[in-house]
């Protein structure tokens, strides 16, 4: 994957971006169902609400976080065909507390 390919994936509605957006929607639904006692719950709810209000912007932030995962990067470089939905969801879920820091509050 060239630098231009990475740009295209980030700033167009690429399949990878669409799948990351889908993983964000799943994470948002999970947050709304989790216990209020969950660690970082208040900030996670703010993030989930921000996703409902502006999904593309919020998902784009997770796009860059997802591209920091070594296994995803290796598969993107190889053409991206081997990336599974389970991998994407795991990475989104894994970085969610890092991005759900309350800064998405209105």
> Which are the contacts of 104, defined by CB distance < 8 A and separation ≥ 6?
46, 47, 49, 50, 58
On the question of pLDDT at 1 being above 90, the answer is no
Reported as a single tens digit per residue, the pLDDT across 38-67 is 999 999 999 999 999 999 888 888 888 888
The tokens for 100 are 């759900």
Residue ranges per structural domain of the chain: 3-99
What average pLDDT does range 7-34 have in this prediction?
87
Provide the whole-model pTM: 0.84
On the question of pLDDT at 29 being above 90, the answer is yes
What is the per-residue pLDDT for 10? 67
CB contact at 8 A, 75 and 83: yes
């Amino acid at each position: 994957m060239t630098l231009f390919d990475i740009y295209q994936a980030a700033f167009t509605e690429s399949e990878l971006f669409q799948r990351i957006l889908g993983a964000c929607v799943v994470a948002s639904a999970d947050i709304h169902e989790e216990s209020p006692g969950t660690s970082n719950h208040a900030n996670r709810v703010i993030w989930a609400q921000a996703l409902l209000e502006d999904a593309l912007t919020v998902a784009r932030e997770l796009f860059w976080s997802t591209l920091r995962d070594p296994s995803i990067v290796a598969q993107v470089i190889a053409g991206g065909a081997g990336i599974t939905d389970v991998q994407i969801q795991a990475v989104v879920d894994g970085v969610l507390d890092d991005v759900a820091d309350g800064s998405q509050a209105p």
